[in-house]
Amino acid sequence: MIATGPAMTLQVKGRDKLWNPTGRAGPRGVDVTAVACRDQAPTRMTVSLPRGQDRAILTALGAMAALTAADIRGVLLARARHVHASSYFLLEHCLGPGLAGVLAAARAAGATTSLDTNWDPSGRWGDQRLSAAIAQADLLLLNEAEALRLAGEASPAAAAQMLAAAGRGWRSSSASAARYTPTGPRGTRSACLR
């Protein structure tokens, strides 16, 4: 969740062998010193099933569902250049209540922030806590289907307008969505279709 130097991850794992790097560096040299361990839960497992331009992502939450804002120490936020939160809808009951505060603290310390909601398996598509987190995200990462659902709109153009109003800008990494993408001035909050 947090990048400080080259990269640092903050997550919760179970006390098992599924994800068990030794020392300070995990896979690809990522700093894993902030990874918390929960004895009572297994490590999260995710499988991605690509099909054409889309994919299905299946996740057994395990210990991931135990990550809270209390796990994110202020000293980490003070060192971070960028803080990214992903899978909001998988974390909305544990990290969701404190996420806006975490992102606000990171921004107050000079970091940029981003949020990738991913798909909402419940179909509710957010509440006031998500709105507060979006308000603290410099970059909102969504695919077109997620943008349509989150905005409650039927067209990409309408979704872009609604989400831009919430975030002061909108950029797209998707060529097909670029024509619906109003862009704010440099340094403003943005939303990005992936």
Domain span holding position 180: 153-194
| pTM of structure | 0.77
Confidence tier at 21 by pLDDT (50, 70, 90): low
Domain assignment of residue 106, yes or no: yes
| d(C-alpha 72, C-alpha 1), whole Å | 9
In this structure, are residues 150 and 117 in contact, taking their beta carbons and an 8 Å threshold? yes
In this structure, are residues 102 and 69 in contact, taking their beta carbons and an 8 Å threshold? yes
What are the tens digits of pLDDT across the range 23-81? 555 656 777 777 778 888 888 788 888 888 777 888 888 888 888 999 888 878 888 88
Span 174-187, average pLDDT: 44
Pair 157, 129 in one domain: no
Pair 158, 132 in one domain: no
Domain assignment of residue 145, yes or no: no
Pair 76, 22 in one domain: yes
| d(C-alpha 93, C-alpha 7), whole Å | 26
DSSP state of 1: -
| d(C-alpha 167, C-alpha 55), whole Å | 27
| d(C-alpha 51, C-alpha 100), whole Å | 34
CATH of the domain at 89: 3.40.1190.20
Which of 88, 109, 137 corresponds to the end of one domain?
Answer: 137
* φ, ψ of residue 105 in degrees (nearest 5): -65, -40
